Amino acid sequence: MMKRIIATEKIHGDRRDWRNLRDMLPYLWEFRGRASLAIACLVLAKVANVGVPLVLKGIVDAFQSPATQTLILPFTLLLAYGLLKLSASLFNELRDVVFARVRYRAMRRLSTRVLEHLHRLSLRYHLERQSGAVSRDLERGTRSVSTILNYVVFSVLPVLVEFALVAAILLGRYAPSFMLVTFGTVAVYFAFTFAITEWRMDYRHRMNRLDSEANHQAFDSLINYETVKYFGNERLELDRYDGTLAEWEEMAVASQTSMSLLNFGQGAIIAIGVTLIMSLAAQGVVAGQMSVGDLVLVNALLLQLFIPLGFLGIVYRQIKYAIADMDLVFKLLERTPEIQDRPTARPLRLDQGGIRFERVDFHYQPERAILRDLDFRIEPGQKLAVVGHSGAGKSTLARLLFRFYDVTGGRILIDGQDLRDLTQDSLRAAIGIVPQDTVLFNDSLYYNLAYGRAGATRAEIERAADMAHIRAFIESLPDGWETVVGERGLKLSGGEKQRVAIARAMLKRPRILIFDEATSSLDSHTEQAIQQTLSEVAENHTTLVIAHRLSTVVDADRILVMEQGRIREQGTHRELLESGGHYASMWELQQREGGDAVVLQGASGENMRS
């Protein structure tokens, strides 16, 4: 049973290898003319290369001719010998020059396509992915395209062309036994190489998996550097990383040991084949059926054939490894985005910007509902706030509006248009967001601010920074607008990052605004200033405010109180306080906490003064 499973996996693996090679062809089609010219140069180089032993045979035989011809023939043949050597070198270099554009353009196209596809994949994939492992897989996968093209054009095809030329010479000039021994040696060599390499591929696949896992672990520990330091878990991270590398080391040693077995077997097969053929040639010379020049010719042809053939075994292994690496990339490209535009999808036609959640149900996993029968409307130009405890489903509303996920029941409408009938690009262009967790690019502050709208002028960017109360801070820095913010913006405080996010949203100038805990990382003084700015920005915009701190939503036109994915209460701030329900309890609790904070601040100030 186990043998049958392994055999089935091998068949599927072989089919996938061929399919991966086939999928690589479109990347070559753009430069098919160059590829053809490179192959033509390759053939000419090999014709010149095989012509060298023929000329060498003539030189050797010439020395056995009468003395009157000795001064003429060797000189002509020596000149031909030098020209053929030069031609072989020239056409080889021309092949490299012509094919370079093909190889590197294929790498560029594949890399770009993979990044484009990753951006098209849905949020669920990016929340579940392992960034370090994906990074390593992509690096190996795109590099494998260059490896395969390099080996096929510079190693496999030359050997095949040379083998065909040598076979033609042996068949045309010598007894069939020479051809039989040569073909037999090559056949045994290939059969042995393929069999052992297929056996060794399991080690390579496991090495790839462990290498990606180790890279993910290292990457993850560096991203969470502060957390590692907080808990003093450097040794834990190193042990976890080293444990995975220990498994990788075992696979690598097993792979190297089996490769030595393969190399020795290949060398033995070639040695036996060469010995048999040279014995046949020596017998021919002794019997007078062949000249010394023929012996030299056969020996030179065999050297030209078997030396690259020995290298071809290594090439075959590397191609198999490269295909295994490339398989990771093509499997990624086969992943279908969870959220796709329908064939009939049309751009969003914004009229007034009204939003309607119509009996919406949603879950990430079927066993755990996030939103249940959610039904509400945000009128055009209205500011609606959603409050509730963590896990109530508030931030999920923003993800559904951006259509990072599709609802599992009901529908969401903007100006009467179902989001699922719209193109994602047009939908997201109409919505601006200030997220709770602002992640910035490891680039300058200017770049991160300008990201809000491509093509914005510097004056517009500076005005957005002014409105977000961050311009003075930026200009106080030594490098000003060109200050690099670090990985994920780690060089900035939470409040500074949130102000960058606010400026970015303002710069985008969307019709619909979402503030998801937009001031959660700000101090009280800055929060009041930003709240005033947000209120000004939200005028004439349809605005959804997701908040935990109730003091930030008292001016909302309507407030929804959510609990466990349902709307528990709704109304204005005053109406909800007067009703004495859940909102009123939350308000009282937060007011008490705020008062305690003020008392603590006062006590701290007195201590400092004393």
Q: Inform me whether the pLDDT recorded for 140 exceeds 60.
A: yes
- At 582 the three-state DSSP class reads helix
Q: What share of the chain is helix, strand, coil (3-state, %, to 5)?
A: 70, 10, 20
User: Residue 499: pLDDT band by 50, 70, 90 thresholds?
Assistant: confident
| Owner of token pair 């270099």 | 93
Encode pLDDT of 535-574 as tens digits: 777 777 899 999 888 888 888 999 999 988 899 999 999 9
- At 193 the three-state DSSP class reads helix
> 357 — phi, psi (to 5°)?
-95, 115
Name residue 544's beta-bridge partners: 384, 514
Cβ neighbours of residue 65 closer than 8 Å, sequence gap 6 or more? 73
User: Residue 65: pLDDT band by 50, 70, 90 thresholds?
Assistant: low
Encode pLDDT of 325-382 as tens digits: 777 788 888 888 888 899 999 999 988 889 999 999 999 888 888 899 999 999 988 8
Give the pTM.
0.65
Three-state secondary structure string covering 114-158: HHHHHHHCCHHHHHHCCHHHHHHHHHHHHHHHHHHHHHHHHHHHH
Encode pLDDT of 164-212 as tens digits: 887 788 777 777 888 788 888 888 888 888 788 777 777 777 887 888 8
Six token digits for residue 403? 């259509």
Residue 558: its pLDDT value, please?
A: 93
Lowest mean pLDDT: which of 128-132, 183-187, 398-402, 601-605? 601-605
The answer to whether the beta carbons of residues 499 and 460 sit under 8 Å apart is no
Q: Inform me whether the pLDDT recorded for 2 exceeds 50.
A: no
Residue 225: its pLDDT value, please?
A: 78
Q: d(Cα 600, Cα 593) in Å, to the nearest integer?
A: 11
First-to-last CA distance in the chain?
Answer: 84
Q: Of all residues in the chain, what percent carry a pLDDT higher than 90?
A: 16
- What domains are defined for the chain? 20-334 (1.20.1560.10), 345-430+510-610 (3.40.50.300), 436-508 (3.40.50.300)
The answer to whether the beta carbons of residues 362 and 370 sit under 8 Å apart is yes
Nearest to 281 by CA among 301, 305, 267, 266: 301
The answer to whether the beta carbons of residues 547 and 517 sit under 8 Å apart is yes
Residue 191: its pLDDT value, please?
A: 85
Q: Inform me whether the pLDDT recorded for 402 exceeds 80.
A: yes
Cβ neighbours of residue 401 closer than 8 Å, sequence gap 6 or more? 355, 412, 419, 431, 512, 514, 544
User: Residue 294: pLDDT band by 50, 70, 90 thresholds?
Assistant: confident
Three-state secondary structure string covering 257-321: HHHHHHHHHHHHHHHHHHHHHHHHHHHHHHCCCCCHHHHHHHHHHHHHHHHHHHHHHHHHHHHHH
Cβ neighbours of residue 8 closer than 8 Å, sequence gap 6 or more? none
The answer to whether the beta carbons of residues 390 and 566 sit under 8 Å apart is no
User: Residue 255: pLDDT band by 50, 70, 90 thresholds?
Assistant: confident
**Average pLDDT rounded to a whole number, residues 215-238:** 81
Name residue 78's beta-bridge partners: none
Q: Inform me whether the pLDDT recorded for 481 exceeds 80.
A: yes
Q: d(Cα 3, Cα 24) in Å, to the nearest integer?
A: 31
Encode pLDDT of 75-116 as tens digits: 777 788 888 888 888 888 888 888 888 878 888 888 888 888
Across all residues in the chain, what is the average pLDDT? 80
